[in-house]
Amino acid sequence: MLHAQGLVGEGKGDVAISIQSASAALLLSAVSAWYRITSREKAVIEQALEGLPAKHITRRLGLSPHTVNDHFKAICRKTGVSSRDELVDGLS
């Protein structure tokens, strides 16, 4: 992630730029837009980023275990990752 701020002083137009690692939330928004992740799939990913197992995700989101697993399969297919762990690691 880049941050830029104009500098005050002699050099007009000078800018200071800082580079930081992007947060998982910011990356998730970008990844969701890029890979056309649905809002429900995004909600499942958010829960996975919190470290919740699928069983708890089903309860929290009011979904069946089958639906949560289907969302993970769709996410993996869309993003090209092979597992939930790979997805979480890529966003963390």
The pLDDT tens digits of the residues spanning 17-43 come to: 999 887 887 888 888 999 999 999 999
pLDDT given for residue 60 in this prediction:
96
Strand locations in the chain (E): 2-6, 15-19
pLDDT given for residue 70 in this prediction:
97
- Residue 11 pLDDT greater than 80, yes or no: no
Output 8 or 53, whichever has higher pLDDT: 53
d(CA 36, CA 5): 32
Output the pTM of the full model.
0.74
d(CA 8, CA 86): 44
Mean pLDDT estimate for the chain:
91
pLDDT given for residue 9 in this prediction:
75
